[in-house]
Every structure is written in structure tokens, then in C-alpha cells.
Amino acid sequence: IHDPHELIKWENGADIQVVYKVPDDTWADYKDKRVLTGRDIDPEGLAVINQTCAIIGEELMPSVIMINPTTGEILSPFVRTPDIDEKGNFIDGKFLSTRSDKIHCDVADLVDDADKCVIVDKSVAEKSDYVIHEKSGGYEGFAKLEDGSIAAFLELKVREDEPGQRVYNVKPGNCQIGDKPSFESFRGYYPFEFGATNIADVSSIPGSSNLVLVIERNGYPGLGYP
């Protein structure tokens, strides 16, 4: 995934990792092409609209981003996830974030050594105006529905007292460079079955605009737990 149009920039002026630091000169083409690394975004969900347009759901802000799935070219700036009130309405100007979000980094630290700011202390993140959502825990399940919209599932709860994982309604946009996907509404909460704690994946059901297949897991994969 690369950003030739320089669309990925954080509100505090932070840029992508390869601008600040690469391991050695063999990474020169990564820098020239503005290749994104796991320090920039963590793409977990993918809704393919067509061969040249898809929407990524990423964990670290969390946000949604338009890309060309054939070339890996970023087509839009990231769009942050809005917070909601008790009725499920978007709160104007209030967005989710995580401790891995570069918005909490000091840009001078990134310039000096980008590895100085990977995950900030919880106290640093909580001083911001963002609603802090774990150290990641953003989008994990993404499903394009029959009506063209996307059901976007957060992996973890935002607040402990919420009845389940948040599911947002995302509109892909027109798939042109610089255009953005958008959050249309809050779909509702997804309550887990007994023992589950995380969204693992979500798949659409052909022909349906209101049903999906959800894979749940708990926090201990591979350790003998269901």
C-alpha cells in the first residue's frame, strides 16, 4: 500500500514512517513511493467495490481509507470514526483514537527518531480531545452489502458499559482520487455469544443488505480456548 498523492497526513503534521526513518538505503524506493508500514496504519477490514476501488478499515486510529486494490495506491485521506451519543447519533467534532495513533506523537520526536513514538502512554492519549479506544482495537470486520454500503465492525468495545461492539454504516464514495468514504450512520451494537471478546472477521451474505456472517473469538487464540 503506497501513497503517491501524499494524502495520508495527520492533523498534528505527522507524516508516514518512511519519511522519517528507513532501515538502510535498500529502502530508497519505499521512501520514493511513500509505502505505508504497520507503524502508519493497520489494515484489518477490506470491502472491495470493484477492481480499482476498495475501502480499508484500519485499527490504529481507527479510520477508513479508499485504495485501489489492484495497485495498492491510496485514493483518499483517512476518515476518522465519529463518536456517538447515547441515542447513536454522531457527536460533531468528536472522534475515536487509540494509543497507537500518530496524532498523539510529538512531530519533533518523529523527526529525531520515529521509533520513539510507537504507542504513547495512556495518560498522554487521555489528555487529548479524542475518545481513547484501547491501544488498537479498531476495525476488524468489514462487509460490503448488497445495497452498496459497508457494515464496519470495531474489534473491541469502546466503553465497557456499551451492550456490544459498535457497527457503523460506511458509504464508499465515488472512487475518485481525493474523494473520501463517509460515515452515514451508526447501525447498532453487536452483542457477543458467551465467552467471546473480539470480532475476528465479518463476511457478507450474497443478496442481503441486512445479514452478515460474523466470526467471533476470545483473547487467547491458539492456547486451547474456544
* Residue 195 pLDDT: 80
Q: If you write DSSP's letter for every residue of 168-223 in order, what string do you get?
A: EEEE-----TT---EEEEEEEEEPPPTT--EEEEEEE-TT-SS-EEEEEE-S-TTT
Instruction: Give yes or no for a contact between 66 and 53, defined as CB atoms under 8 angstroms apart.
Output: yes
Sign of CA dihedral 162, 164, 169, 170: positive
Question: DSSP H helical segments within 59-211, as ranges?
Answer: 107-112, 122-126
* Residue 71 pLDDT: 96
* Residue 224 pLDDT: 52
Instruction: Give yes or no for a contact between 172 and 49, defined as CB atoms under 8 angstroms apart.
Output: yes
Q: What is the pTM of this model?
A: 0.92
Phi-psi region at 134: left, alpha or beta (left = phi > 0; alpha = psi -120 to 50) = left
List, run by run, the mean pLDDT of 10-residue segments along the chain (226 residues). Answer: 96 94 91 93 92 95 96 97 96 95 94 90 92 85 94 92 94 92 96 85 92 85 54
Spatial separation of the C-alpha atoms in residues 108 and 181, rounded to whole Å:
31
Closest by Cα among 204, 194, 190 to 156: 190
Amino acid at 134: E
